[in-house]
Amino acid sequence: MKTLRIAAVASLVLAPVALAAPAHAADATVSILHGVPGATVDVYANGKALLTNFKPGTLTDPVMLPEGTYDLKVTAAGAGADGAAVIEANDVKVPGNTNITIVAHLDEGGKPVLTPFVNDTSAIDAGKARITVRHTAAAPAVDVRANGEVAFKDLTNPNEAKADLAAGTIKADVVLAGTDTVAIGPADVNLKEGTNTIVYAWGSAADKNLALATQVLTGMHSAPGGVPAGAGDESSAAARWAAIAGASALAGGLVLAGRRRTAAVR
Amino acid sequence: MTRHRTPSPVPRRMAEPGGDGRSGRSGRARGVAAALAVALLAGFVTFWLTRPSDPMSDVPAADTLAAPASPTTTTATASEPAPAQATQPSARPATQAASGSRPAPTRLTIERLDIDMPVRPVGVARDGEMALPATPADVGWYEYGPRPGDPRGATVLAAHLDMPGYGTGPIAAVEDLRRGDTLVVRSRGTSTRYAVSDVRSIRKSQLDLPALFARDGAPVLHVVTCGGTFDPDARRYDRNIVVTATPVS
């Protein structure tokens, strides 16, 4: 047991350095979003500093982590590995071959928590974009509206909803569920084709600092189904059939005429 | 009065039964049969002579796209992970980056073929195929793909070969392109020169669409139209003509 744990720690520490993940272990692509207002923090994974001076409203670039379970701890910036935990989450499962965003955020009651979300990186039809909305704010259930229409109903912390839509820019806002009371926004969200645009509602309704954070995952595009670059030319086709009919009639008529003249002469 | 009457069907038909009594009926039948046969033959000859020629008959047929096809692009590689380093991953504000993309192409010029066509951005039609401009006079640029000058992937331009009421479009001339010919794609304030590396006629069922629309790999220009045989019922050609050209610095 102990050796196993040491191995896990060692691989976590070493893998980012030298991509030394064991051959059998798949990597996960992990990003971290800071959605707890007001606190600049350090993040530890299995006792090792993963991030320092991490500011609210910021998102890390994705890093590859070997699959496994991680003990995560968030402390006030500079508090050190043994400092008091602002958030602590042990045995956080990080499955291989997944794309994950770990979000430090407030739960509905305002307590800081860590939530790992698995991001949908499946292929998207040509011309479309995926939008994912995540409720990570100290706020009650909300509806998310796109261009004034409710797109996602009754979303609660810490849940998500998603859809594939036509690519383009939408005006998004967040209202208290079942009402027209705007809690966040509106904001223009550019849904780029072939991407998954993830919008987080974060902050605290009580503290009046609700905000939107955005993460964009690219590379899920598909090619169109074909290039139908010819529609034929009806006018020439019609002329052609007229020519065929005309030639047939003429030839047949000539033969008949020839035969009859022979008959008449006889 | 008329000593020499021009032959007309009416007197002849009257004359026929009065002819040789025995062969009258079968003779007429034979006549009709012969007429039909010749009519069919003439029809077929006309059919053959006027058959739609493959407008791209000189284009080598192939079932694959020329390199540089991108290496299996479509595995969902969501945003490239930063190479793992000893340093921490960098963090940035979780807001949408303003996309500082290059200008969209506006014109395709192939001097040697007297082609000078406007380029318009197009997307995806309802059936999932690439949308195309309403007229063969215009070229469509697949707006979700790379732009001319982008460091990676295939810029795709496509134009209708023909259309009822229009006839054959200027793009039909690309069959005459040869390796090394120059194509120029103009965008607002800039232009990109390409040299033709390959012209192919590819069966639509065999077309490698992910490679044609690649977003990775070396930068390349694909100019696409139709070719092969037109199926008037399906209103489709059975082949695509794909010109591959690489940027000239």
**pLDDT tens sequence across A102-159:** 999 999 999 999 999 999 999 999 999 999 999 999 999 999 999 999 999 999 999 9
* Residues from chain B contacting residue A134 (CB–CB below 8 Å): none
- A241 and B CB contact within 8 Å: no
Window 114-173 of A, Cβ < 8 Å to B: 119, 121-123, 125-127, 167
- B118 and A CB contact within 8 Å: no
**Closest Cβ–Cβ partner in B79, B92, B162 for A218:** B79
What pLDDT, on a 0 to 100 scale, did the predictor assign at position B69? 41
- Whether the pLDDT of residue B160 is over 60: the answer is yes
Q: Hey, are the CB atoms on A229 and B132 less than 8 Å from each other?
A: yes
Q: Compare all CA atoms of chain A with the CA of B124 and give the residue at the minimum distance.
A: A127
Co-location of A79 and A93 in the same domain:
yes
User: Mapping DSSP to helix (H, G, I), strand (E, B) and coil, where does residue A172 land?
Assistant: strand
Average pLDDT over residues A61-87: 94
Co-location of A84 and A157 in the same domain:
no
CA distances to A130, B62, B78 from A192, in Å: 9, 34, 13
- Taking the alpha carbons at both ends of chain A, their separation in whole angstroms is 117
Co-location of A103 and A138 in the same domain:
no
Q: Is residue A158 part of a domain?
A: yes
Pull the structure tokens for residue A261.
Answer: 């003249």
- Whether the pLDDT of residue A2 is over 80: the answer is no
Q: Hey, are the CB atoms on A228 and B129 less than 8 Å from each other?
A: yes
What pLDDT, on a 0 to 100 scale, did the predictor assign at position B232? 87
Q: Is residue A242 part of a domain?
A: no
**Closest Cβ–Cβ partner in B38, B81, B95 for A252:** B38
Tell me the residue range of the domain where A82 lies.
1-118
Co-location of A74 and A140 in the same domain:
no
CA distances to A82, A130, A257, B16 from A252, in Å: 104, 65, 9, 18
Distance (Å, whole) CA B230 – CA A67? 53
For residue B62, report the phi and psi dihedrals to the nearest 5 degrees. -155, 155
Q: Is residue A166 part of a domain?
A: yes
| Angle at which helices A234-265 and B24-49 cross, to 10° | 150
Q: Is residue A149 part of a domain?
A: yes
What pLDDT, on a 0 to 100 scale, did the predictor assign at position B36? 78
Co-location of A109 and A197 in the same domain:
no
- Asked which of A118, A138, A173 is the last residue of a domain, the reply is A118
Co-location of A77 and A9 in the same domain:
yes
- A224 and B CB contact within 8 Å: yes
Going by pLDDT thresholds of 50, 70 and 90, the confidence category of residue A14 is very low
- Whether the pLDDT of residue B22 is over 60: the answer is no
Pull the structure tokens for residue A115.
Answer: 């939530």
Q: Greater confidence, A125 or B72?
A: A125
Co-location of A109 and A6 in the same domain:
yes
Co-location of A3 and A105 in the same domain:
yes
Co-location of A106 and A128 in the same domain:
no
Co-location of A34 and A99 in the same domain:
yes
* Residues from chain B contacting residue A255 (CB–CB below 8 Å): 31, 34-35, 38-39
For residue A265, report the phi and psi dihedrals to the nearest 5 degrees. -65, -40
CA distances to A46, A251, B37, B165, B224 from B74, in Å: 34, 59, 58, 39, 21
Pull the structure tokens for residue A139.
Answer: 């706020």
What pLDDT, on a 0 to 100 scale, did the predictor assign at position B227? 94
Q: Compare all CA atoms of chain B with the CA of A238 and give the residue at the minimum distance.
A: B164
The single residue listed with the structure tokens 């309704």 is A205
What pLDDT, on a 0 to 100 scale, did the predictor assign at position A246? 73
Q: Is residue A29 part of a domain?
A: yes
Q: Hey, are the CB atoms on A255 and B144 less than 8 Å from each other?
A: no
Structural domain tally of chain A? 2
CA angle A226, A230, A233 (to 5 degrees): 160
- Give CA A214 to chain center in angstroms: 10
Give percent helix, percent strand, percent coil of chain A, each to the nearest 5. 20, 50, 35
Q: Is residue A36 part of a domain?
A: yes
Mean pLDDT over each residue of chain A, to the nearest integer: 87
Q: Hey, are the CB atoms on A249 and B88 less than 8 Å from each other?
A: no
Residue type, A16: P
- Strands of B45-130, DSSP E: 61-62, 91-93, 105-110, 115-122
* Residues from chain A contacting residue B230 (CB–CB below 8 Å): 230, 232
Q: Hey, are the CB atoms on A194 and B15 less than 8 Å from each other?
A: no
- Whether the pLDDT of residue B226 is over 80: the answer is yes
Q: Is the peptide bond before B68 cis (omega within 30 degrees of 0)?
A: yes
Distance from CA of B248 to the nearest CA of A (A): 26
Q: Is residue A169 part of a domain?
A: yes
The pTM of the full predicted model, rounded to 2 decimals, is: 0.75
- Give CA A19 to chain center in angstroms: 26
The single residue listed with the structure tokens 């092969």 is B228
Co-location of A113 and A200 in the same domain:
no
- Whether the pLDDT of residue B212 is over 80: the answer is yes
> With 0-12 CB in 10 A as exposed, 13-18 as middle and 19+ as buried, what is B100?
exposed
Q: What value of ipTM does the predicted structure carry?
A: 0.76
Which contiguous run of DSSP H or E holds residue B236? strand B236-247
Co-location of A93 and A142 in the same domain:
no
**Closest Cβ–Cβ partner in B15, B144, B225 for A221:** B144
CATH number, domain containing residue A31? 2.60.40
- Asked which of A103, A118, A133 is the last residue of a domain, the reply is A118
Which contiguous run of DSSP H or E holds residue A162? strand A160-166
* Residues from chain B contacting residue A170 (CB–CB below 8 Å): none
Which contiguous run of DSSP H or E holds residue B206? none
- Asked which of A65, A91, A118 is the last residue of a domain, the reply is A118
Distance (Å, whole) CA A45 – CA B191? 50
**Pairing label, strands A58-60, A63-66:** unpaired
Q: Is residue A249 part of a domain?
A: no
Q: Hey, are the CB atoms on A34 and B91 less than 8 Å from each other?
A: yes
What pLDDT, on a 0 to 100 scale, did the predictor assign at position A249? 77
Residue from A209, A26, A229 nearest B130 by CA: A229
A-B contacts (CB, under 8 Å): 265
Q: List pLDDT tens digits, range B84-112.
A: 445 678 899 998 876 668 999 999 999 99
Strand order in the sheet with A48-54: A48-54, A41-45, A68-76, A85-94
Window 20-79 of A, Cβ < 8 Å to B: 29, 31-34, 49-52, 54-55, 57-64
Average pLDDT over residues A191-218: 96
User: Mapping DSSP to helix (H, G, I), strand (E, B) and coil, where does residue B100 land?
Assistant: coil
